Structure 1
Amino acid sequence: MTVLLLAAVSGCSSAKELPNSVGSQLQTAQDRAQSAGFTNLSSEDATGQGRAQLWDRNWRVCSQDPQPGEADPETLVVFSVVKEGESCPASTDGYLAMPGDEMPGYVGRNLMDAMDQMAALTGEITAVDATGAGRSTDNENDWRVCTTTPVAGEVIEDSVVFEVVPNQEKCPG
């Protein structure tokens, strides 16, 4: 019985580091994953339209499953993608806002989560105290979004403003 257990343990794959490919061109994402030892790769249209990815260089990764980090290299890695120039659905896990995307609805959500999804923008991303009291919003995890500029559904140009209050407070108005 010990021999069988040893054989089963020795047959296990050791975990490898799956790189983060969100925001990358699909071809680049596949190349990175393969370089890291992952060869079981797939992609799907993140819009739900079922479009085939014939030219990998014409698609951008909105999310990946599994998430970046340690994973079994035999695991199926699925990249959810949109055509270059299209917006990623805001509901996509791992969504990163890009200029030209529609602003997701962040009202009521945690500021840190909202700021994380804006990390790919190159313009100014600011958070201000919605009460006008001028309190520092440095501890992003303790604040909640009241309003955004642009508002949900409007196109993100390059900068975003979050008006926020501490989690235990109500939004003004």
Structure 2
Amino acid sequence: MLVIGGLGTACAVNTTGGGSASGNAKTGGTTKTVPRFIGMGLQSAQDAAQKQGFYSLKSHDSLGRDRHQILDRDWKVCSQNVKAGTTASTATRLDFGAVKVDETCPAKDRSAPAKAHGTMPNFKGESVNTARHALDSGTSVTVNDASGKGRYVLIESNWQVCSQKPPAGTKLSGQPVEFAAVKFGESCP
């Protein structure tokens, strides 16, 4: 596709013979009213957004567990980053907070913990997956089953941190990190 622009407008010319579209160069596209997606299945919300001309779509785990929405039909929308009824450019990225269909939406959308910058955060209650991603990529991480059952922690987004070494507030200087964890829905010992 070839894009030709000039003084506030842009015209995208499809060089494959499929036509052209025009819009505002500042907003990157035409403007539309953003529908309400909350309560819809994630796949249905994505389809509806695209039908309205919104193609820059993203989704995240509303529970803050950093799970990936592999089968969008298995997830439902709990939040959206652009309020329904707002007029926005169709180039605007829409981000849907979602949980699995059989889960309850949280009262407040939780994002994954921020990156650890020199100090060990308190990861208790967070998913092992989000804790690992918050640490420097070179950090050695060991995860053990805190229940005493000796289970392997394979899908880290399904496990919550019960304890950590080093403790929260410790200066991080490349030392290994250890987590003791149980599956979500289980109580920490």
TM-score by length of 1: 0.48
Give the TM-score normalised by the residue count of structure 2: 0.44
Higher strand share: 2
Task: Compare the two structures and name the one with the higher helix fraction.
Answer: 1
